[in-house]
Amino acid sequence: MLERHAAWFAARQVQLLSDIAVHAETTLPSGEHDADTRLLNHGDYAAEEVACALRISNTTAADRLQVAKELAGQFTNTLGLLEGGEICYMQARNLANACRVLGPEAAARVETAMVTKMPTQATGQSSRALRRQVIKADPDGYQQRLELRMKEREIVRYPQDDGMVTWGATVPAELGARFDQAVDTHAAVLPVDDRTLSQRRVDALADLILNRPFLQAGSHVPTELETPRTGTSAQPTAATALVHVTVPLDVLIGASEDPAELKGYGPITATQARTVAFAEGTIWRRLITHPKTGLLIKTDPTTYRPTAEAERHVIARDQQCAFPSCRMPAQRCDLDHIKKFDHDHPESGGKTVPENLIPICRRHHLMKHRANWTVTRDSITGITTWVSPTGHIYLNAPRNYGE
């Protein structure tokens, strides 16, 4: 209830900021169009005053004004959802920002598709759905922006406290997925010790970079890098990195430019998907979806552990932990029986079939069993319903491959 009130207040502030932005744009004195005026016009003054009033930076204030003007002027249905407490401000802001690169008609199509989704989705889920709708609304424009962004690929470093640094790279999504899988694969072959999974992945990355043999003749690795640190291997084991892309057949053959799905990232363009699909060494696996619901369909039901086929199916179907607010990748989750498996009479207990299995991260798996949360799954819609010990109900919808 308090969150709904907060959303209402956010909507009222959006309306006020929109009025300020529009007023600032319409009160620029005629004839004052020299360079200094364009640089510091009334719109900029408005941003300055909003920044002071809200105790935020000028850049943030300018962004708030722009978002407010777009929501109140172009995305009134979204603003209505915010005012009714059905979505949060972040969802509304994300929609306005994502549609800024689109023309009016394409932006309207995106909003029409999203207003039915956002009220039932967490912010992360609606962000992923929003990316997909933006691709569908303007696939050519999205591809052009991707090609421009690819020129901006770079190594990034952000200093952290206590002698640490965040280090990484800005790269195309499919390349990032290959990086991620390569690190996971290499982490699995490092010596077993008391390191956490996150620590092993970082050490695997260091091993892959620092201990990779130089290929150029005459090159030399500095002495301090020739001796591997504790827990790393000087001879990394070669392994194949797997990149999972779910792509409809019509997209694969070029008959459609609808988005595909890159596991661990989300929607990607049809061109990106075809690049991965037709790369040398690619292995294809067929996934069957229901023609109406778009859900993945399709396994020994009387064994406690799922077969490899059932496990692949559930991971591909749900992609992430089935708890509504969790985004842990499904491949790192436990597969849990919704209806408890009967070890004494397997034929009568909860069967080990995809319809009775959901991926749950270890934290929410323990919460489900130790804190008395109950979970059910609708076999038609795929929606999981979580009921907390206090009686509150939370819903989580699975990935719809038909959208």
Angle of the 58-73 helix axis to the 42-54 helix axis, nearest 10:
110
Identify which of 294, 341, 300, 295 has the alpha carbon closest to the alpha carbon of residue 314.
Answer: 295
Q: What is the mean pLDDT of residues 240-250?
A: 70
pLDDT the model gives residue 353? 83
**H or E element, residue 385:** strand 384-387
Is the confidence at residue 34, as pLDDT, over 70? no
For residue 10, report the phi and psi dihedrals to the nearest 5 degrees. -60, -40
Identify which of 168, 98, 166 has the alpha carbon closest to the alpha carbon of residue 138.
Answer: 98
Give the span between the Cα atoms of 387 and 149, in whole angstroms.
43
DSSP annotation string for 119-153? GGS-HHHHHHHHHHHHHHH-HHHHHHHHHHHHTT-
- CA distances for 130 relative to 99, 112, 260, angstroms: 9, 11, 14
pTM here is 0.66
Show me where the domains of the chain are located.
2-138, 189-213+222-230, 245-284, 296-396
Query: Which value, in Å, is the radius of gyration of the alpha carbons in the chain?
Result: 25
Residue 165 pairs in a beta bridge with 159
Which residues have CB under 8 Å from 115's CB, separation 6+?
77, 78, 81
Per-residue pLDDT band at 280 (split at 50, 70, 90): confident
Which residues have CB under 8 Å from 217's CB, separation 6+?
none
Is the confidence at residue 101, as pLDDT, over 50? yes
Give the span between the Cα atoms of 400 and 384, in whole angstroms.
14
The strand pair at 165-170 and 288-289 is best described as: unpaired
Is the confidence at residue 196, as pLDDT, over 50? yes
Tokens of 326: 């969790």
Q: Residue 55: what residue type?
A: R
Q: Residue 290: what residue type?
A: H
Burial class for 91, CB neighbours closer than 10 Å (0-12, 13-18, 19+): buried
Is the confidence at residue 216, as pLDDT, over 50? no
Per-residue pLDDT band at 22 (split at 50, 70, 90): confident
Is the confidence at residue 70, as pLDDT, over 90? yes
- More confident site: 49 or 84: 84
Q: What is the mean pLDDT of residues 187-203?
A: 90
Q: Residue 323: what residue type?
A: F
Q: What is the mean pLDDT of residues 219-235?
A: 37
As a whole-number percent, the residues of the chain with pLDDT over 90 amount to: 35
Give the span between the Cα atoms of 322 and 368, in whole angstroms.
11
Show the CA angle centred on residue 88, arms to residues 84 and 94, nearest 5°.
125
> Tokens 């798996």 sit at which residue?
365
Show the CA angle centred on residue 368, arms to residues 338 and 358, nearest 5°.
35
Q: What is the mean pLDDT of residues 83-87?
A: 95
Per-residue pLDDT band at 80 (split at 50, 70, 90): very high
pLDDT tens digits for range 344-357:
676 667 788 888 89
pLDDT the model gives residue 376? 92
pLDDT the model gives residue 403? 66
pLDDT tens digits for range 333-385:
999 998 887 776 766 677 888 888 999 999 899 888 888 889 999 988 889 99
Give the span between the Cα atoms of 28 and 43, in whole angstroms.
8
Buried residues in 236-265 as b, exposed as e (16+ CB within 10 A): beeeeeebbbbbbeebbeeeebbbbbbbbb
Mean pLDDT of the chain: 81
pLDDT the model gives residue 236? 41
pLDDT the model gives residue 115? 95
pLDDT the model gives residue 31? 52
pLDDT the model gives residue 316? 84
pLDDT tens digits for range 164-189:
889 999 999 888 888 988 898 899 88
Is the confidence at residue 197, as pLDDT, over 90? no
Q: Evaluate whether 94 touches 126 at the Cβ level (below 8 Å).
A: yes
Give the span between the Cα atoms of 313 and 166, in whole angstroms.
35
